[in-house]
A = this chain, B = another copy of it.
Amino acid sequence: MNEIKIFSPATVANVSCGFDVLGFCLDSVGDEMIIRKTDKKGIYITKIKGFDLPFEPELNVAGVSALTMYKAAKPNCGFEIEIYKKIKPGSGIGSSAASAVGSVFGMNELLGKPFNKTELTAFAIKGEALASKCEHADNLAPAMFGGFTLVKSLSPLQILEIPSPDDLYATIIHPQIEIKTSEARAILPKNIPLSDAITQWANFGSLIHALHTSNFALIESSLHDAIVEPYRSQLIPYFIEVKQAALQAGALGAGISGSGPSIFTLSKGIETAINVEQAMRKVYSKTAINFDIHISKINKQGIKILS
């Protein structure tokens, strides 16, 4: 096998009470990439479609991941990378993570899988860091493993795969405004009340239990973020209205995807997810803000080979 085509999915990080540690994987949105073995050594980005991104590997998220793995693997070949980018950069659903995992996943397949998924994620962290200026695996982990993932620690990198009910759907709206990551970070408090923190870990522990036991009522009552959302939601116009509309339409919960501006919701069943989509769409349709909206089953497989 000298060439592989892959689908690298969009993801939601910072899932409510699981801020900074819990993410999940989407299946209706994602990039496609072609990775090709070459006799000439080195990493070459030969095609980029969809968005205007740098071709120099050192300046490209997929390129930096690839270079990091390439140095570790020391293969007797090189790789060409074609990127068919469909996830908008800056949308808050793991655009850079999809690029970062895509290149290393594809190269690993072509090399006969010398690395496991956690090792691949560690390489991808270096690519992600180029985009987000800090090392984290919140979007990488669900893109690589699929389903819900809990990044327990970065050093050593520990990723837990959390089971989830089959009938769980996400509806995600992307209002086309720009939120600077630096601003989203600066708005967070350095210190928080112990009592709020206890509420957060009670909810987060309950959410993990709810996902294990497919307890939708408990997913609903656990999907709260009393700590980060009150700050960051100020950066997203109509956040409160959209969230309220989604909950009224039957969503189990709603929150900021990543550091925004996308807003995610979770619902039981496709019918509710569609109702939620219509309710969220209605709110932004009354404004001057353009938006994309997606409905997606939770993607339990994660990144995958197309051909």
Structural contact, A205 and B150, CB atoms closer than 8 A: yes
Structural contact, B20 and A209, CB atoms closer than 8 A: no
Is A51 interfacial (CB-CB < 8 Å)? no
**Within residues 46 to 60 of chain A, which ones have a CB less than 8 A from any CB in chain B?**
none
Kindly specify which of A30-38, A183-191, A259-267, A285-293 makes contact with the partner chain: A183-191
**Within residues 182 to 219 of chain A, which ones have a CB less than 8 A from any CB in chain B?**
188-194, 197-198, 200-209, 212, 218
Structural contact, A204 and B204, CB atoms closer than 8 A: yes
Look across to chain B and name the residue whose beta carbon is closest to the beta carbon of A228. Answer: B194
| Among B18, B160, B193, contact of A201 (Cβ-Cβ < 8 Å) | B18
Whole-angstrom CA separation of A255 from B197 in the bound complex: 19
**Residue among A192, A206, A212 with max Cβ neighbours from chain B (10 Å):** A206
Q: Mark A140-160, 1 if CB is under 8 A from B, else 0.
A: 000000000011110000101
Is A21 interfacial (CB-CB < 8 Å)? yes
Look across to chain B and name the residue whose beta carbon is closest to the beta carbon of A152. Answer: B206
A204 contacts which chain B residues (CB < 8 A)?
201, 204-205
Structural contact, B194 and A151, CB atoms closer than 8 A: no
Is A81 interfacial (CB-CB < 8 Å)? no
Structural contact, B212 and A209, CB atoms closer than 8 A: yes
A22 contacts which chain B residues (CB < 8 A)?
205
Structural contact, B202 and A21, CB atoms closer than 8 A: yes
Whole-angstrom CA separation of A22 from B204 in the bound complex: 12
| Among B153, B189, B192, B208, contact of A208 (Cβ-Cβ < 8 Å) | B208
Q: How many residues of A contact B (CB 8 A)?
A: 37
CB distance from A192 to the nearest CB of B (A): 5
Q: Mark A8-43, 1 if CB is under 8 A from B, else 0.
A: 000000000111111000000000000000000000
Structural contact, A197 and B227, CB atoms closer than 8 A: yes
Is A121 interfacial (CB-CB < 8 Å)? no
Is A110 interfacial (CB-CB < 8 Å)? no
Whole-angstrom CA separation of A209 from B222 in the bound complex: 15
**Residue among A203, A208, A227 with max Cβ neighbours from chain B (10 Å):** A208
* 3 A-B pairs with the lowest CB-CB distances in the bound complex, closest first: A197-B197, A201-B201, A191-B191
20 contacts between A and B (CB under 8 A): A17-B201, A19-B201, A20-B198, A20-B202, A21-B202, A22-B205, A152-B205, A152-B222, A160-B218, A190-B193, A190-B194, A191-B193, A192-B192, A192-B193, A192-B194, A197-B200, A197-B201, A197-B227, A205-B205, A208-B209
- Measured CB to CB, the residues of A under 8 A from B are 17-22, 150-153, 158, 160, 162, 188-194, 197-198, 200-209, 212, 218, 221-222, 227
Known A-B contacts: A21-B201, A150-B202, A208-B212. Give 13 more (CB < 8 A): A18-B205, A20-B202, A21-B205, A22-B205, A152-B221, A162-B209, A191-B193, A192-B192, A197-B197, A197-B227, A204-B205, A205-B205, A208-B208
